[in-house]
A and B are shown apart, each in its own frame.
Chain A
Amino acid sequence: MFRKKRNKQKPDTAVKQLMGIVGEENVLYLKEDLLAYECDGYTLERGMPRAVVFVRNTQHVSDVVKQLNELEIPYIARGAGTGLSGGATPMGGEVIISLVRMKRLLHLDLENRQAVVEPGYINLKLTQSISDKGYYYAPDPSSQYACTIGGNVAENSGGAHCLKYGVTTNHILGLEVVLPSGEIIEIGKSGVPDQPGYDLLGLLTGSEGTLGIVTKITVNILKNPEGKKTVLAYFDDIDDASQAVSDIIATGIIPAALEMMDQIAIEGVEASAYPVGHPSDIAAFLLIEVDGIQAGIDDQINEILTVCKSNHVRDVKVAKDEAERSMWWANRKMGFGAMGAISPDYLVQDGVIPRTRLPEVLASINAISRKYELRIANIFHAGDGNLHPLILFDASVPGESDRASKAGSECLQVCADVGGSITGEHGVGIEKSAEMRFIFSDEEMAAQTDIRHVFNPDDLLNPGKLFPEPGRCVEVKHEEKKEAIG
């Protein structure tokens, strides 16, 4: 390394044992290095890990897990750490098993439209590596520039195009998993979708790293659509925009993507690195994409334009070329990060609501914004009812983090109250475990934790995530973690 380490912290016994498995250069244990791992993309709650171990292969994972079992040290699997619910954030004292150095594309079978990747492989890289052959990988979370497919499996990530193509679980054909016992198993061995027996792939996908550590993933890849067109529509009234969404779906068209942003969200992306020049005085815009067989796309586009016009659209246009289309999408995909340009911190929520209830939900969110005196931007996968209220706050102002946290929780309550859900694609993690009570009874949650115990009997793998522990609430967790750090 670069600088001589005076007063260097010494590795403890556990760290030394881990070094014995993966090599000294693959373990981090200095406080300054670990500090960067105290949270993922969700920054409201933080905890220090005990060490970070970089594994290179499945056997490493298995050996490390066995060692940690023996030492009774809890552990977490981590990809790029772009998750938005704290799934890869330590509660305090866990060993992080980082999978980012397992980042190879292992096998490509274009004839059968399959690819096998390691968990640290970057989502967008898969599409980039097969696009010249005319293929792509459909799930496209906005963090796809940096997030790993292993992390996508853990969170069952969605993306702008999951309206038509489904979320990650719809694209997973097989997994190699290291169970908390250290045992290595394969699920969906032949890569054939829908095998007989229980749907273990479905169970593992979206289990938020609480049932096992995925070490190899067989994914479905798709042929590039023959045609693709994208529409941008500006509305002066958010109710009109909402109605347009419902009317588009009612025509029978299934757009590849149907996105909405409100005024504050637009202010954010326009201050970001990829401004489009959206008018600052519009209430909302819709970004609508249609793809598929070339014939018929223009008809669908015309129908969408008609719907927008009948809903008092101020201005609507079709992307004139790929460059314009890419610019619109880059602008949209920067949405969350762009909040940094208009606010020191933000908390993103991930509610799901029936599409038709959008106007009243937005009104309620507005009221929450006023109540807590915090601005809330809304980015919305409108087509499938997945709403992302972005609560803007400044963590350096005493009390604002707490207010943001409470405002977020109330937003989820609103979603649950209209018959929706507390998460569409970001997962529950630490962030929303208390809010699981909004949609599940104690019995329902107990049934689910029973399943966790089948896989993870000692609860050493990613403890404290996904389900609320009895009698705990967010504030309590804050305090406990502070003690753990101190």
Chain B
Amino acid sequence: MSIGLVNMLSGGKAKQSNAATVTKDHQPEKTEPACQSNPLGNYIWDDVPDATKWADCVHCGLCLEACPTYQETGEEQNSPRGRVYLIKSVAEGKIGLDEAFADPVYNCLDCRACETACPANVQVGGLIEEARGQINQSMPLSGVSGTFKKTVLNQFFPHKKRMEKLGGLMRFYQKSGLQKAARKAGVLSVMPDHLKDMEATLPKAGKPILGRYPEVIPAEGKTKGRVAVLTGCIMDVMFNDVNKSTVRVLTHNGFEVGLPPDQGCCGALHIHAGERDTGKELAKKNIEAFKDYDKILVNAAGCGCALQEYDELFRNDPEMLPLAKEFSAKVEDITKFLYDNDFKRPHSEVNTTVTYHDACHLAHGQGVRSEPRQILNDIPGVETVDLPDADRCCGSAGIYNLTHPEMAGKLLDRKIDDMPDNIDMVSMGNPGCMLQIAMGVQKYGRKEKVVHTIQLLDWAYEKDKQKMHEYEL
């Protein structure tokens, strides 16, 4: 089917007088027939972006200064408003699905800060992810895989520090299933042998809890309720201490914790990268794995947000959509759940000064801001100090710090620069941020300990338990 024909069939969406001529210049290079039954302008691939999302944008520009990439570049095409405009322009046939369009779409951190700023609740994140899905299908070779290849080869090998960063993440990739994508790009085959050694130099993480802990962990004392926990990939591989804390905190609060063994990666990184098909496969797995639970708790903001948006992922799949909606409604961040369920206030003091960093997918993605702060404030002895611009992205943004090291580095520099002096810890609710900020702390020779909010609560409870134990003796 020719693109001109597709445009005609799309119901006159490509209505601009210049649309036809422009379209000719920008035919996608892949010549396989489009499998999309309802194409939209130059979006001819499966799972077209949602026109109702850009219809909400009136181009007012209130999102501009909320956007970290706009703050850094001042470029309209690298702003939320500009990106939405370009995404819409492809549907109108003004531009094609090509590299020049892909640049601004992939430069986005998908941090959702624009969604907080937007008066009309435009779902920019969803649009970006949908557009990336189209780009990926249109240009598989120069798409994300190509980027992996290019950035890893050109941006990482020459820089030792960046390599360390990459080495640490590699284990995660193996577990998460992203390995497959990376293999396709030839990343693994070109990894030097000493990468394994680099991995060994990373702080030794404990062993994952999924598969080691029992499937059901009973509540301490009287059972208040029954919840499931997503153990995640990076969380369970690199920060399984946080998962252990999560289980302890929940059981201490009277909840029976289920760890469904068939759960897997949430697919957030794949969806962010435009690998929507893989994302959907993973989502289906999780929807099945958690079907016996009414509440699914997540301690990784990025994962939680992705799970809450499974309905968005299956927007064009009438069969999966009701299941996804039902699933997404059950998902909640661990701090919000505890706060809403009147968590046990610890009595023991944890004498420390903490600043709290808002993970993008917690603050902007899920609207969870006050609950984790409230938990910190309710721990005796914890003194909290405000972090200026706490909800500005740290640059981690999934795999962004690998694909866009320069921009990610700038944002990390700003984040570390904003961190108040004389604090002992930085608390947050997302493993990607924890890795990124830990890297920043190290880079600038600072001493702060990077912790998950739930760990602080766990430590306070543990002190309580220890005291109880002492009394009993």
Contacts and interface: CB of A to CB of B under 8 A. Distances in A.
Contacts of A336: 58, 60, 119
Contacts of B341: none
A346 interface: yes
Nearest to A342: B120
Interface stretch (B93-101, B256-264, B266-274, B430-438): B93-101
Contacts of A273: 116-121
A334 B61 contact: no
Contacts of B56: 340-341, 344
Given A6-B99, A35-B94, A120-B74, A341 B120 contact: yes
A380 interface: no
B100 A145 contact: no
Contact of A35 (B81, B86, B142): B86
A82 B58 CA distance: 11
A337 B64 contact: no
Nearest to B116: A273
B337 interface: no
A146 B118 contact: no
B452 interface: no
Given A2-B147, A80-B64, A345 B58 contact: yes
Nearest to A54: B74
A482 B121 contact: no
Contacts of A146: 61-65
Contact of A485 (B18, B98, B107): B18
Interface in B48-76: 55-66, 74-76
Nearest to B407: A2
Contacts of B74: 54, 98, 100-101, 103, 120
Contacts of A3: 99, 102-103, 106, 142, 146-147
Given A146-B64, A274-B119, A486-B21, A33 B142 contact: no
A8 B142 CA distance: 14
Interface string B104-126: 10110000000011111110000
- Does more than half of chain A's interface fall in helix, strand or loop, or is it mixed? loop
Nearest to A330: B119
A482 B119 contact: no
Interface stretch (A24-32, A279-287, A305-313, A438-446): A24-32
Given A54-B74, A145-B65, A340 B120 contact: yes
A5 B99 contact: yes
A274 B79 CA distance: 22
A2 B86 contact: no
A413 B106 CA distance: 46
A437 B75 CA distance: 36
B171 interface: no
Interface residues of A, number: 59
A2 B100 contact: no
A340 B81 CA distance: 13
Contacts of B404: 2
Contacts of B18: 482, 485-486
A31 B99 CA distance: 12
Nearest to B117: A145
B77 A36 contact: yes
A339 B58 contact: yes
Contacts of B403: 2
B177 interface: no
Contacts of B107: 2
Contacts of B85: 35-36
A297 B116 CA distance: 34
Interface string A330-356: 000011111111011110000000000
Contacts of A269: 119
A272 interface: yes
Contact of B75 (A28, A31, A39): A28
Contacts of A274: 119
B15 interface: yes
A143 B59 CA distance: 12
Interface string A100-118: 1101000000000000000
Contacts of A2: 102-103, 106-107, 147, 151, 403-404
A40 to B, nearest CB: 8
B89 interface: yes
B17 interface: yes
A39 B94 CA distance: 15
Interface in B121-136: 121-122
Interface string A208-224: 00000000000000000
Given A32-B77, A35-B86, A341-B121, A41 B95 contact: no
A340 B119 contact: yes
Contacts of B184: none
Contacts of B119: 269, 272-274, 334-338, 340-341
A396 interface: yes
A304 B464 CA distance: 56
Contacts of A103: 74
Contacts, number: 158
Interface string A390-428: 000010101000000000000000000000000000000
A101 B58 CA distance: 25
Given A2-B107, A3-B102, A482-B17, A344 B64 contact: no
Contact of B55 (A4, A54, A120, A344): A344
Interface in B434-454: none
A88 to B, nearest CB: 10
Nearest to B96: A32
A235 interface: no
Nearest to B21: A486
A66 B95 CA distance: 33
A80 B70 CA distance: 10
B82 interface: yes
Interface in B335-385: none
A334 B95 CA distance: 31
Nearest to B65: A146
B23 to A, nearest CB: 13
A147 B85 CA distance: 19
Contact of A36 (B15, B58, B76, B151): B76
Given A36-B86, A273-B120, A345-B58, A4 B99 contact: yes
Nearest to A102: B74
Nearest to A96: B76
B76 A37 contact: yes
Contacts of A145: 62, 65-66, 117
B330 interface: no
A41 B103 contact: no
Contacts of A39: 59
A66 B31 CA distance: 47
Contacts of B77: 28, 32-33, 35-36
B150 interface: yes
B59 A43 contact: yes
Given A35-B86, A337-B119, A396 B64 contact: no
A4 B150 contact: yes
Interface in A29-76: 30-33, 35-37, 39-41, 43, 52, 54
B150 A82 contact: no
Nearest to B90: A32
Contacts of A81: 61, 76
A476 interface: no
15 contacts: A2-B403, A2-B404, A4-B99, A32-B98, A80-B65, A98-B74, A143-B60, A146-B62, A146-B65, A273-B120, A334-B62, A337-B118, A340-B58, A341-B120, A486-B18
Across the A-B interface, the 10 shortest Cβ-Cβ residue pairs? A340-B120, A337-B119, A334-B119, A36-B82, A100-B74, A32-B100, A337-B60, A82-B61, A36-B76, A36-B77
Given A3-B99, A4-B142, A344-B55, 7 more contacts: A32-B100, A35-B85, A81-B61, A122-B65, A273-B119, A273-B120, A336-B60
Interface of A: 1-9, 28, 30-33, 35-37, 39-41, 43, 52, 54, 80-82, 98, 100-101, 103, 120, 122, 143, 145-147, 269, 271-274, 334-341, 343-346, 394, 396, 398, 482, 485-486
